[in-house]
Structure 1
Amino acid sequence: MRFTLSWLRRHLDTDAPLARITGTLSAIGLEVEGVEDRAAPLAPFRIARVVEAVPHPNADRLRVCKVDAGEGRIVEVVCGAPNARTGMKGVFAPPGSFIPGTGITLRVGEIRGVRSNGMLLSAREMGLGEDHTGIVELPEEAPVGESYARWAGLDDPVIEINVTPNRGDALGVRGVARDLAAAGLGTLRPWRPEPVPARFASPLRWEIADPRACTWVLGRALRGLSNGPSPKWLQDQLTAIGLRPINALVDVTNWFTYDLGRPLHVFDVRKVKGQVLTMRMAREGERLLALNGREYALTAEDGVIADAAGAEAIGGIIGGEHTGCDEHTTEAFIECALFDPVRIALSGRRHDIRTDARARFERGVDPALMPPALEAATRMMLEFCGGEASEVVAAGAEPAWRRSATLRFRRLAEFGGAEVPPEEAVGVLERLGFAVERRDAESVTVAVPSWRNDIAQPGALDQAPGLPAERARAAAEGCAAIEPECDLIEEVLRIRGLDRVPPVSLPVASPVPPPALTPKQARTALARRVLAARGMLDCVSFGFLDSRIAALFGEAPGALRLDNPIASDLDQMRPTPVASLLLAAARNAARGFGDVALAEVGGGYRDPTPEGQLQIAAGVRVGATPRHWAEPSRPMDAMDAKGDAFALLAALGVPMPALTVTADAPGFYHPGRSGVVRQGRQALATFGEIHPQVLAALDLHGPAAAFEVFLDAIPEPKRRRRGPPDLPPFQPVRRDFAFLVDETVPAEAVLKAARAADRALIGDVTLFDRYAGERVPRGKVSLAIQVTLQPREATLTDTQIEAVADKVVQAVAKATGAVLRA
């Protein structure tokens, strides 16, 4: 919302300086976005007369001008403007002035041998327009030596405030002035427009065919008009706030939009087809060529103002070009209507139309202001354009806006934290226009003024759609008791000054703040860090892909098919992030980067239910291991993926000895070179090499290994009291064993049996070698394990160590049929 200081003072009788006004505006909730002082950069410029203008002796297109800049000074200026001539008046800039349009500081100079002691300015050089065809020409009555900015009315600061969505009344200068007066910054000037007598019957009448389009509308015809430019003061005020003056009739409607926050519209009577203007909803296929030059395809949800030829305006948003007023208009019809805020907002958003009228109607306008606003606009138009006015014609009825609200004085301290005397609270409300209906020592009941539609209406939820009647009544009673009172508390506190509301800290629930992330969120972040630390690039990809690709990685049910995909090859929710990563690896390989390691923590989808959306940490390695001088490069295999999966599970706190591996991996893995990591029966991860058929379908040349860790399946760690770390005082003892087992026996069986041999002393068991070859019988493999013995009560003797070793050999032999290798 923008307005000038002089405009504000048309409604506010105050001698407060600009700084105090802007400070008070921010303190009462109308935050000042900025103040534009247009006179500041123009301060050095003075009105001057060209006493003499003669051709330059050394240049055909230059003139040497003697300029009277006031105070009896005659200075010589070299000027290249074609309109520089003897006797004219213009704007003079003395040496040392900063020229805003060019960004230079003026100095005394010599042009083609003639000294120039200043400059005669064009509009563009002053930053007041784009005209650079010549210097500014001023009328004869312009006083020589006077400040140009002061004479031109540019010393009127422009204030811009930020208006919150609930304060539609603050989108008018009078509403802003009312708030400032209530804050003690002056007195609100009275405003009672004198009625304009009717001289003839209106040639047009209103009809409301659909109350969704409009609930109440007034109109008045004017004839005998001479529609030309509006007065200079009105044009200056509109220009100052960024509006372009058009003609007197249109300028008046724009002026009242900002002055009172009351949008109006004028129709050219001769351009209207028929004698009836109808408020209705738009018809199928109806179009409107609007005043902004754009054509809009209307929908059945748009309220329009129509004549016999069709829609002529989108009600409350923008008028049509066909019936707009121009310099040839001699008969006009003023429209002053009330529209539904929600419908205005939806229509404006649907067509992407942003107008001053829409901004006010969608916030709600003063319904009681319509008759006096129509009278005031009529009088101003007749003053500017001549002519006479018709009777006022109307349709619909004024809505029932009258309501009351009650404020309990103790609530100001309970809700607002400020001790406000009852007299002061009542005084604030009265200055804002609330009329006292009842008052006692504990509370006051006031009538809410028509312009404050943000003050909640008691019982407004009685007709709330979708609510049972009993619940609606209960909600309405609560609303009646609380919401209007909270609004009144807000009014009292903000007018006293928001800076006077004492800051009160929220109570501290705990001396130690709760964690910012849930365990699931922390687990996701940790998974990303672990995979990145293992040399994998973190990826972010779409959660959907081509349904034909998705079918390679599991079921692609129709329930997970997208009805409106962003691309034809992104029509299916993906079963696993591995698919997206392999597609990314294929794109990299096609561009010469065949060896990649990619990871993503994202969604995999099994069905449309919440349980069917899995959070998966996935990774792929394609090509060969990175070359290193100390070791040869080798192709990626299932063990690389298994190492990644196990490293991530260990970082997430999964007890590693409790894990087992089964060979029932999904079908997109290579059979025999893949596995499923389980804790009990719960699958925590899968890993393995990618099936050759899948690689061929993706046009990806392997080898490729991948893994998935199902983050949702990992059990939450048990909360334990933190105690001192368990640090045994005795040194551990490590013994190596090599067993010959059938090649079909999984290594996990050997490890599990060794751990169970003596749980009190055996702290860890690891596999460090697997050998199959000429020194091992056919069908057998050698598995070498390391067993760590951790004593806790005393150092182990050789006898105790040998006893545990015997237990390990016996347990492994019993569980797997293995024998100790000689």
Structure 2
Amino acid sequence: MKFTLSWLKTHLNTDADLSTILKGLTNIGLEVEGVESPAEKLGAFRIARVLTADPHPQADKLQVLTVDAGDGPLQVVCGAPNARAGLIGVFGAEGAVVPVNGMVLKKTAIRGVESNGMMCSFRELELGEDHDGIIDLDPQAPVGQVYAQWAGLDDPVIDVSITPNRQDCMGVRGIARDLAAAGLGTLNAIIVPEINGAGPGPDVRVDDADGCPAFFARTVKGVTNGQSPEWMARRLKAIGQKPISTLVDITNYLMIDLGRPLHVYDLDVLKGPLVARKGRAGEEVLALNGKTYTVDDTMTVIADDAAVHDIGGIMGGEHSGAQDSTTGVLIECAYFTPERIAMTGQKLALTSDARGRFERGVDPAFLDDGLSIATDLVVKLCGGTPSEATRAGEPPVAANTVRYDPSQCLSLAGVYVGDDEQKRILQSLGFGIEEHDATFDYQDGVPVTTPAYWTVSVPSWRRDVDGWPDLVEEVVRIVGLDQVPSTPLPRTPGVAKATATVEQLMERRVRRTAAARGLSEAINWSFISEKEAASIGGGDWALANPISEDLKVMRPSLLPGLLSASRRNVDRGASSVWLFELGRRYFADRERATASFVLAGEKLPRGWQTGKAQAFTAFDAKSEVVALLAAAGAPVGNLQSFGEASAAYHPGQSGTLRLGPKTVLAEFGVLHPSLAKQFGLTGTVVAGEIFLDAIPAKRRNGFMRAPYAPPALQAVKRDFAFVVDEALEADALVRAVRGADKKSIVDVRLFDVFAGPGVEESKKSLAIEVTLQPGDKSFSQEELDAISASIVKAAEKLGGVLRG
């Protein structure tokens, strides 16, 4: 909904400036989409007089003009056919920017003749579509003045977003009414002229009361159509409406101004009475937009004995609309039901400004007044003699009243507004108020007190108001939505318990940990294709009637979805992909909660030693798995590494983490090359899956951060290197050493693996760092020697020999 500031002030008597009005609109719930002032982009264009116009020596269709824009004569080359000596137009000098294309005007030579600017057309200034010639102004226009100021274009255009329930604000007057209620001025009285008709009204009737309950009309004979007055055309052009002719522009103007759509018919084209009826199968209408529409019996049309002339309430017909030669018109002012308008518009895929208002619901009590205002404008601007009005049907103007207690404003919205202020606001918005005092009576011998209340009459233009909460909304809206306090709801005893389950809390921790480690969350379909399922061993559940063959099998793994997402990221230029997902895997017995991730592309940041990109390794995947398991509450210190990952992973570059030999908590490693290739991924791709449902419940339930208790004494670190069989897993040695003295040994870390000179063939050297933490006193040398001996003994049980 667009309107200019000056247009608004024809209805709103106010001294408020633009910024105050914009803030007021936002505060009362009318969202400002934008504000623009045409004068800002036209400030460099001035009114100029053409002093001379001579033929161009090198081009038949060009002229060489001498132009005076107030600073003396300038030479300009122009190709407009209407350029002539004495013409007053609009001139853009060197440096001006042409609005239509953003071109910066420069001094240039056109066919060998110097040109110092440009005489402009309406289209070049984005003031209309006329491009047949340059602008031809009134001879009295002041030469040298900025054109936008003289033409009244320094009038800001405000664009407001109107929600579907606010049909009353689909006209400038409704917006002015809201601002007046908010204290930004007073609403000017609307003047409804008295029309003294000569002769009977036109023959119109209603045969489809469900679609068109009321059809009011009046004829005006002896009119002279032409161009709209400058004030009307300027306002319409400012909001993007193209002026057509006075008769048509009057209807468009009143639709924007008062929210009342109307239509005018060429009286000489009509054959017989004009009837609002249902459409008939096969009937067609050539609408004003140049397109032909086929109607049916679910639609309301306006027709005479010969043809259909109007798709009721949406768009008129081309052949019966007002033309330049029209001398008599029939003015239609009807009420169409919103439901019928919406259904017809959807069926025909036809939108219009009239439809946008009728399907919201125009004021059914404004037919007489709307017809009188339109008739008065036609007579004043086009002349002619009006007839009496014909009123066919009955508009739905049944009274709507709401019982309201002013205290409900505080109880519902949490905002205290005094009774007098509420009364002022509602009456300013057009509501009627009848106050009722409290009463005291006896019912069956029991004293009953009825508190004071109001009976509020809802105005005919507010079909969205149905009950007392709507009245509270109106009061709070006008007071200002920014005045609603942020008040937390009270916590009712026995209800304020945590609602998240243990599993949900665990998943929340895993999700946050993954994000904190730099992974981005992906959310994929729970269905995959049969081909994708087969690549990871097949799925247990297939849909009999899938919406797509690519979504046929319920996923037995989260990897296919993550791999597809990784490929899409790589295809769009991502050099490093870090994706994770929390979801469910589906098997014949049950669904299983799982967290999975994929790392593909380059490992960032690049290595500082070589400056080259590095590939992900199985150890990168293991690092992520251990971190996520720790977040889930798994006992990561007791986990054992095994090498038997699923077939999705590369043999020898993958593994599993388990609690004992049977309880698999996760698997990780380098993805099998054939699987990566199937999903279009090149290079090394690593992945991991954490089986959240396999984590012991007691660990999940009892997950809690240990209190921070820094040791009183400094830890002691000792390094050991053992020569072991090449087949021995380093994890076995680490676990054995950790168990050598559970009281003193708090951490064991592998930091080196070596095989080569100095180490027997089929052997390897594993170097570990052991952290010892003293308790209430420091370790003595004897105690350290004893602990070291127990470590060596634990390694010897695995065949390890302390390296010399």
2:241 maps to which residue? Answer: 243
Secondary structure in 2 aligned to 1:606? strand
Q: How far apart, in 2, do the equivalents of 1:753 and 1:68 lie? A: 97
Q: How far apart, in 2, do the equivalents of 1:585 and 1:62 lie? A: 64
Q: How far apart, in 2, do the equivalents of 1:633 and 1:602 lie? A: 26
Residue 44 of structure 1, CA deviation: 9.0
Residue 718 of structure 1, CA deviation: 2.8
Residue 748 of structure 1, CA deviation: 5.5
Q: How far apart, in 1, do the equivalents of 2:25 and 2:252 lie? A: 24
Partner of residue 760 from structure 1, selected from 740, 743, 749:
743
Q: How far apart, in 2, do the equivalents of 1:542 and 1:707 lie? A: 17
Q: How many residues align?
A: 754
1:170 maps to which residue? Answer: 169
Contact 1:676 1:687 in 2 (8 A): yes
Residue 764 of structure 1, CA deviation: 3.1
Q: How far apart, in 2, do the equivalents of 1:655 and 1:104 lie? A: 71
Secondary structure in 2 aligned to 1:258? helix
Contact 1:407 1:444 in 2 (8 A): yes
Secondary structure in 1 aligned to 2:532? helix
Secondary structure in 2 aligned to 1:408? coil
* Unaligned residue ranges in structure 1 (runs of 5+): 459-479, 533-537
Partner of residue 486 from structure 1, selected from 468, 472, 477:
472
Asked if 1:527 is matched to 2:498, the reply is no
Change (3 A) 1:712 1:297: farther
Q: How far apart, in 2, do the equivalents of 1:576 and 1:520 lie? A: 17
Residue 601 of structure 1, CA deviation: 0.8
Change (3 A) 1:766 1:381: same
Q: How far apart, in 2, do the equivalents of 1:405 and 1:56 lie? A: 79
Q: After TM superposition, list the pairs within 5 Å mapping 1:299-698 onto structure 2.
A: 305=301, 316-319=313-316, 321=318, 324-327=321-324, 332=330, 334=332, 336-340=334-338, 355-381=352-378, 384=382, 386=384, 389=387, 392=390, 394-395=392-393, 397-398=395-396, 400-408=398-406, 411=409, 415=413, 420=418, 422-438=419-435, 444-455=454-465, 457-458=466-467, 480=468, 483-490=469-476, 493-494=479-480, 501=483, 520=507, 523-528=510-515, 530=517, 543=525, 546-556=529-539, 563-564=546-547, 575-579=556-560, 598-602=577-581, 606-607=585-586, 612=591, 616-619=595-598, 641-642=621-622, 645-646=625-626, 649=629, 654-661=634-641, 665-669=645-649, 674-679=654-659, 683-688=664-669, 690=671, 694=675
Instruction: String of CA shifts for 1:263-290, please: whole Å, max 9, x gaps.
Output: 234456787899675666998x998765
Q: After TM superposition, list the pairs within 5 Å mapping 1:4-15 onto structure 2.
A: 4=4, 7-12=7-12
Change (3 A) 1:661 1:185: same
Residue 260 of structure 1, CA deviation: 1.0
Q: How far apart, in 1, do the equivalents of 2:738 and 2:569 lie? A: 45
The amino acid of 1:178's aligned partner reads: R
Secondary structure in 1 aligned to 2:560? helix
Contact 2:578 2:599 in 1 (8 A): yes
Q: After TM superposition, list the pairs within 5 Å mapping 1:207-222 onto structure 2.
A: 207-208=207-208, 211=210, 214=211, 216-220=213-217, 222=219
Percent identity among equivalent residues? 31
Q: How far apart, in 1, do the equivalents of 2:167 and 2:573 lie? A: 61
Instruction: String of CA shifts for 1:753-793, please: whole Å, max 9, x gaps.
Output: 55445422332345678899999999999988766543323
Q: How far apart, in 1, do the equivalents of 2:569 and 2:749 lie? A: 37
- CA RMSD in angstroms comes to 6.2
Change (3 A) 1:689 1:67: closer
Change (3 A) 1:227 1:282: farther
Change (3 A) 1:264 1:527: same
Change (3 A) 1:410 1:802: same
The amino acid of 1:489's aligned partner reads: V
Contact 2:603 2:615 in 1 (8 A): yes
Residue 658 of structure 1, CA deviation: 2.0
Contact 2:98 2:125 in 1 (8 A): yes
Asked if 1:36 is matched to 2:30, the reply is no
Change (3 A) 1:349 1:686: farther
Residue 728 of structure 1, CA deviation: 3.9
Residue 257 of structure 1, CA deviation: 0.9
Q: After TM superposition, list the pairs within 5 Å mapping 1:242-321 onto structure 2.
A: 242-266=240-264, 290-293=287-290, 305=301, 316-319=313-316, 321=318
Change (3 A) 1:349 1:719: farther
Q: How far apart, in 2, do the equivalents of 1:281 and 1:685 lie? A: 69
Secondary structure in 1 aligned to 2:206? strand
The amino acid of 1:484's aligned partner reads: D
Contact 2:223 2:379 in 1 (8 A): no
Residue 262 of structure 1, CA deviation: 1.6
The amino acid of 2:238's aligned partner reads: A
Instruction: String of CA shifts for 1:636-661, please: whole Å, max 9, x gaps.
Output: 88666545534654577754222134
Residue 255 of structure 1, CA deviation: 1.4
Q: How far apart, in 1, do the equivalents of 2:515 and 2:704 lie? A: 24
1:154 maps to which residue? Answer: 152
Change (3 A) 1:416 1:47: farther
Q: How far apart, in 1, do the equivalents of 2:151 and 2:336 lie? A: 36
Contact 1:617 1:711 in 2 (8 A): no
Q: How far apart, in 2, do the equivalents of 1:599 and 1:649 lie? A: 18
Residue 398 of structure 1, CA deviation: 0.6
Residue 678 of structure 1, CA deviation: 3.1
Residue 202 of structure 1, CA deviation: 4.8
The amino acid of 2:301's aligned partner reads: I
Contact 2:641 2:657 in 1 (8 A): yes
1:229 maps to which residue? Answer: 226
Instruction: String of CA shifts for 1:13-67, please: whole Å, max 9, x gaps.
Output: 667777876676666665664363649957995687x8x8585999997677798
Secondary structure in 2 aligned to 1:234? helix
Asked if 1:791 is matched to 2:787, the reply is no
Q: How far apart, in 2, do the equivalents of 1:23 and 1:78 lie? A: 47
Secondary structure in 1 aligned to 2:366? helix
Change (3 A) 1:401 1:315: farther
Contact 1:289 1:321 in 2 (8 A): yes
Contact 1:46 1:93 in 2 (8 A): yes
Residue 243 of structure 1, CA deviation: 0.7
Q: How far apart, in 1, do the equivalents of 2:40 and 2:357 lie? A: 30
Residue 222 of structure 1, CA deviation: 3.6
1:468 maps to which residue? Answer: none
Contact 1:173 1:258 in 2 (8 A): yes
* Unaligned residue ranges in structure 2 (runs of 5+): 439-451, 492-497, 499-503
The amino acid of 2:511's aligned partner reads: T
Change (3 A) 1:77 1:738: closer
Secondary structure in 2 aligned to 1:725? coil
Change (3 A) 1:530 1:42: closer
Instruction: String of CA shifts for 1:153-189, please: whole Å, max 9, x gaps.
Output: 6267244152542433222122233345443624522
Instruction: String of CA shifts for 1:123-145, please: whole Å, max 9, x gaps.
Output: 567764565665544567x4777
Secondary structure in 2 aligned to 1:400? coil
382-391 or 118-127, which deviates more: 118-127
The amino acid of 1:191's aligned partner reads: I
Secondary structure in 2 aligned to 1:367? coil
Change (3 A) 1:753 1:272: farther
Change (3 A) 1:417 1:66: closer
Residue 244 of structure 1, CA deviation: 0.9
2:194 maps to which residue? Answer: 194
2:448 maps to which residue? Answer: none
